[in-house]
């Protein structure tokens, strides 16, 4: 072929320049090396990135880039991953060659890689083009051709062959893949933005800890005194002292209202300073807590407006599934988040779906977990059906990738009774947990579990006995909407005189945040306020009601709901009413039913209250035992797929939220001003555009997203009540209730929208 300059990407509309392939390969390689050095694999990641786009060097690909892709804005349409896959197989082995083969469409299974490598030894068109590309690129990037193999990190070589080594290779491959695809995306995005690659500088964790301490003191000085302040201060001081311990797996077991959020932050920052760790990642089970905790940590860590510095805290909870393939909307994958902030507040869904995924946009952030402090708040909410792979992967992060993990909860599961943590030291942040629980016991329980309990009777009980400030927590969004309508008088029920507020994931994140802020204000002012919520409020949301009603649920949920009652200890005793409506809804999966059965055995009238520590430990072990001894119902099958390096199958099996049901919806609420509406619409347009947008549009749109079951979204799309945006994200164009959001009990007449 001619000596023309080889190109990686078409002309940038901003700089007017094309992207030389030499620059892209070496730029991506340098970034990938810097990402992987923290876990001892810099050389391997560098080489995989160096060869990832070698296939673009063939004449046919170069011609199509100029004459077709650049002219039409459409993909080149010629495969280019095969040449680099063959080079990677020679230099690092077939298993890791999957990183190169999957850098666009996702990590493949090993059968696919083996088949491709066999085909490349033949005379088919792809094989001929791969050899041509390798020869062309080697003339300008000669280091793609190596004499010998790149050895694995020393720590990996020391692991003996067997099940544990296979699981470690799975985790290692995922980390390398993350380094390569993040580097690829960053270098590509920089080209199209007409600028140099922007990589966030390493955080000064010592300065952040000092800022945290200073602002915490200011925050406490502004707060009204509480009877539990001294206990919370003791928890904080004990957490700081524990942070000097060696990196590993820590347990932060603190009762609700014990100041766990700030104690976890203090521990994480002090631990990072003590051991040179790079960032702190907080993961929580509910978006509502993500929003609340992110706000707390922003207040304590973000620079002031006068500083003009970059924010410290990144809040990330979008669950949008982006298109990965070279086709319409391919550039959308560059909008994926890569967690390049010193402090990340995310959801456990985001964290673990990323760890077990196989698509680049989801996995590009994983390397940020190496050398990080990972705080898993409300760990009791981790799903039993995935517990085995989750604990296994957390152990990999601790033992192989230099992370420290903090398991935080008021209802701490007995994880060390499971084989996945056998032999791993259990490091306690709080030594005398029993004393702390005794000191912070602030509620009494009442039980309504008879056959005559219905939503109507509970509504009547709330009206007659609840008083002026009541929180009711139920199990499903349909139940929350139904009870809210009863209490608000919409269905002719026994209406309460106080304002009744509603919280569920069918409301946008911004809407929920506004409601929680308003409710806190009403509680602080002593004004009447009633709230009906799904479980999103019961774990970590800082509200304090004198009386709480909780629909029958697993024991940890009952105790978490109780944590919203008399939280600051201002009453002698708060009251928690546990009720079981005969017409109530509950999840149907087997793990949830096991939890319900174990709860009924240990807790209730004449038995233990949900805050009894010994009963709680027995409850967890019973609940897991009810799911069988072979681990099938707790994710053992996923472990077997991980050993086979079958990444697509693992991703299919590992679903924190069943994606057949949950889907994100952008809602522009009716009360938005013209200016606000225009800004939201502009971000939606950016996502629909075929050009790179970076992660910023999705970040800005997160507050405007609600969640719906997929079948409802599909029906709305057919009826014209929703329009596609990108991936599986849609824009809602139908009714949005000012109180209940996308109300399941008040569906819009879709027939009027059918064309």
Q: If pLDDT is split at 50, 70 and 90, which confidence band does 239 have? A: very high
Q: If pLDDT is split at 50, 70 and 90, which confidence band does 754 have? A: very low
What's the token pair of residue 65?
């880039």
Instruction: Quote the percentage of the chain above a pLDDT of 70.
Output: 92
Across-strand partners of 460? Answer: none
User: Given this model, what pLDDT does residue 694 score?
Assistant: 67
Query: How crowded is the C-beta side of 40, counted as CA atoms within 13 Å?
Result: 11
State the average pLDDT over residues 436-462: 93
State the average pLDDT over residues 375-395: 94
| pLDDT above 60 for 473 | yes
| Sign (positive or negative) of CA dihedral 183, 189, 283, 313 | positive
The number of helices, as runs of H, and strands, as runs of E, in the chain is 29, 19
Instruction: Quote the percentage of the chain above a pLDDT of 90.
Output: 68
For 550-559, how does the pLDDT look when each residue is reduced to its tens digit (9 = 90+)? 999 999 999 9
For 521-565, how does the pLDDT look when each residue is reduced to its tens digit (9 = 90+)? 999 999 999 999 998 887 667 899 999 999 999 999 999 899 899
Interatomic CA distance for residues 579 and 127, integer angstroms: 67
Contact 588, 559 (CB under 8 A): no
The CA distances from residue 267 to 18, 237, 542, in Å, are: 48, 9, 20
What's the token pair of residue 444?
């009494």
Contact 565, 435 (CB under 8 A): no
Closest CA to 167 of 363, 392, 469, 370: 392
Range with lowest mean pLDDT among 497-506, 657-666, 679-688: 657-666
User: Given this model, what pLDDT does residue 519 score?
Assistant: 95
DSSP track, 500-527? EEEE-TTS-HHHHHHHHHHHHHHHHHT-
Q: What is the DSSP letter of 447?
A: E
CA–chain centroid gap for 755, Å, is 38
> Average model confidence (pLDDT) for the chain?
89
State the average pLDDT over residues 344-359: 92
Interatomic CA distance for residues 42 and 63, integer angstroms: 34
The CA distances from residue 311 to 10, 208, 307, 349, 659, in Å, are: 33, 12, 10, 24, 32
User: Given this model, what pLDDT does residue 424 score?
Assistant: 96
The CA distances from residue 597 to 562, 592, 602, 623, in Å, are: 20, 9, 9, 8
| pLDDT above 70 for 329 | no
User: Given this model, what pLDDT does residue 399 score?
Assistant: 97
Query: How crowded is the C-beta side of 421, counted as CA atoms within 13 Å?
Result: 20
The CA distances from residue 730 to 665, 714, 742, in Å, are: 5, 10, 14
Task: Please state whether beta strands 662-667 and 705-709 pair in parallel, antiparallel, or not at all (unpaired).
Answer: antiparallel
User: Given this model, what pLDDT does residue 308 score?
Assistant: 58
User: Given this model, what pLDDT does residue 140 score?
Assistant: 96
* 446: number of Cβ within 10 Å: 14
User: Given this model, what pLDDT does residue 658 score?
Assistant: 55
Q: What is the DSSP letter of 373?
A: E
User: Given this model, what pLDDT does residue 331 score?
Assistant: 36
| pLDDT above 90 for 27 | yes
What's the token pair of residue 464?
């007659």
Q: If pLDDT is split at 50, 70 and 90, which confidence band does 109 have? A: very high
| pLDDT above 60 for 753 | no
Q: If pLDDT is split at 50, 70 and 90, which confidence band does 361 have? A: confident
Interatomic CA distance for residues 494 and 483, integer angstroms: 11
Interatomic CA distance for residues 514 and 172, integer angstroms: 42
Q: If pLDDT is split at 50, 70 and 90, which confidence band does 746 have? A: low
| pLDDT above 80 for 272 | yes
DSSP track, 70-91? HHHSS---S--SHHHHHHHHHH
What's the token pair of residue 120?
């490349």
Question: Three-state SS for 448?
Answer: strand
Q: If pLDDT is split at 50, 70 and 90, which confidence band does 490 have? A: confident
User: Given this model, what pLDDT does residue 326 score?
Assistant: 40
Interatomic CA distance for residues 194 and 202, integer angstroms: 24
Across-strand partners of 608? Answer: 603
State the average pLDDT over residues 253-265: 91
Q: If pLDDT is split at 50, 70 and 90, which confidence band does 120 have? A: very high
User: Given this model, what pLDDT does residue 54 score?
Assistant: 97
**Which H or E run contains 281?**
strand 279-284
Q: If pLDDT is split at 50, 70 and 90, which confidence band does 629 have? A: confident
Q: What are phi and psi of 516, to 5 degrees?
A: -60, -45
| pLDDT above 50 for 333 | no
For 563-596, how does the pLDDT look when each residue is reduced to its tens digit (9 = 90+)? 899 988 888 899 999 999 998 877 777 888 899 9
User: Given this model, what pLDDT does residue 280 score?
Assistant: 96
């Amino acid at each position: 072929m001619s000596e023309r300059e080889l190109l990686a990407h078409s002309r940038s509309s901003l700089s007017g320049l094309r992207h030389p392939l030499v620059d892209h390969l070496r730029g991506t390689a340098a970034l990938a090396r810097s990402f992987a050095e923290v876990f001892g694999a810099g050389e391997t990641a560098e080489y995989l990135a160096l060869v990832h786009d070698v296939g673009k060097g063939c004449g046919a690909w170069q011609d199509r880039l100029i004459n077709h892709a650049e002219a039409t804005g459409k993909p080149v349409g010629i495969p280019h991953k095969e040449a680099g896959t063959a080079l990677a197989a020679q230099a690092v082995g077939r298993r890791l060659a999957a990183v190169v083969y999957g850098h666009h469409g996702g990590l493949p299974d090993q059968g696919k890689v083996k088949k491709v490598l066999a085909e490349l030894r033949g005379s088919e068109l792809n094989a001929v083009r791969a050899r041509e590309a390798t020869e062309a690129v080697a003339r300008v990037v000669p280091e793609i051709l190596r004499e010998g193999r790149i050895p694995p990190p020393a720590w990996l070589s020391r692991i003996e062959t067997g099940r544990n080594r296979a699981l470690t290779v799975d985790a290692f491959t995922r980390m390398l893949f993350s380094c390569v695809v993040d580097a690829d995306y960053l270098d590509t995005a920089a080209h199209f933005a007409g600028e140099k690659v922007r990589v966030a500088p390493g955080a000064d964790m010592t300065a952040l800890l000092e800022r945290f301490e200073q602002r915490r003191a200011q925050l406490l000085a502004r707060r009204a005194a509480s009877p539990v302040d001294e206990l919370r201060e003791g928890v904080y001081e004990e957490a700081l002292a524990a942070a000097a311990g060696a990196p590993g797996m820590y347990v932060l077991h603190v009762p609700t209202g014990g100041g766990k959020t700030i104690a976890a932050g203090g521990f994480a920052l002090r631990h990072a300073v003590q051991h040179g760790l790079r960032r702190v990642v907080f993961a929580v089970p509910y978006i509502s807590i993500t929003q609340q905790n992110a706000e707390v940590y922003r207040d304590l860590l973000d620079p002031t407006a006068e500083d003009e510095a970059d924010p410290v805290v990144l809040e990330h909870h979008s669950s949008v599934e982006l298109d990965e393939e070279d086709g319409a909307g391919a550039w959308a994958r560059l909008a994926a988040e890569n967690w390049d902030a010193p402090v990340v507040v995310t959801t456990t869904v985001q964290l673990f779906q990323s760890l077990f995924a196989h698509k680049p946009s989801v996995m590009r952030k994983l390397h940020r977990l190496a050398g990080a402090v990972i705080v898993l708040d409300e760990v009791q909410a981790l799903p039993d059906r995935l517990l085995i792979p989750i604990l296994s992967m957390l152990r990999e992060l601790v033992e192989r990738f230099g992370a420290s993990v903090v398991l935080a909860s008021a209802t701490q599961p007995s994880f060390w009774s499971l084989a996945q943590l056998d032999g791993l030291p259990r490091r306690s942040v709080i030594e005398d947990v029993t004393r702390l629980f005794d000191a912070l016991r602030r509620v009494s329980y009442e039980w309504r579990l008879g056959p005559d309990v219905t939503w109507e009777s509970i509504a009547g009980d709330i009206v007659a006995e609840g008083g002026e400030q009541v929180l009711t927590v139920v199990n499903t969004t349909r139940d929350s909407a139904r009870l809210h309508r009863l209490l608000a008088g919409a269905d002719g029920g026994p209406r309460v005189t106080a304002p009744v507020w509603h919280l569920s994931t069918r409301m946008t994140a911004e809407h929920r945040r506004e409601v929680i802020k308003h409710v806190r204000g009403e509680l602080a002012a002593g004004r009447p306020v009633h709230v009906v919520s799904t479980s999103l409020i019961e774990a970590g949301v800082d509200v304090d009601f004198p009386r709480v009603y909780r629909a029958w649920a697993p024991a940890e949920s009952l105790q978490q709901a109780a944590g919203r009652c008399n939280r600051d200890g201002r009453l002698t005793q708060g009251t928690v009413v546990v009720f079981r409506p005969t017409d109530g809804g509950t999840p149907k999966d087997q793990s949830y039913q096991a939890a319900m059965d174990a709860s009924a055995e240990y807790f209730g009238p004449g038995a233990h209250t949900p805050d009894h520590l010994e009963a709680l430990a027995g409850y967890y072990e019973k609940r897991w035992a009810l799911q069988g001894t072979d681990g099938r119902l707790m994710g053992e099958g996923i472990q077997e797929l991980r050993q086979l390096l079958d990444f697509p199958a693992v991703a299919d099996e590992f679903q924190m939220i069943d994606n057949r049901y949950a889907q994100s919806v952008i809602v522009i609420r009716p009360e938005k001003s013209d200016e606000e509406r225009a800004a939201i619409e502009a971000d939606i347009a950016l996502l629909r555009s075929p050009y790179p947008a970076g992660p910023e549009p999705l970040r800005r749109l997160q507050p405007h997203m609600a969640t719906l079951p997929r079948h409802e979204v599909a029906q709305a799309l057919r009826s014209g009540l929703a329009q596609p945006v990108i991936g599986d994200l849609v824009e809602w164009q139908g009714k949005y209730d000012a109180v209940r959001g996308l109300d399941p009990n008040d569906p819009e007449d879709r027939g009027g929208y059918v064309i």
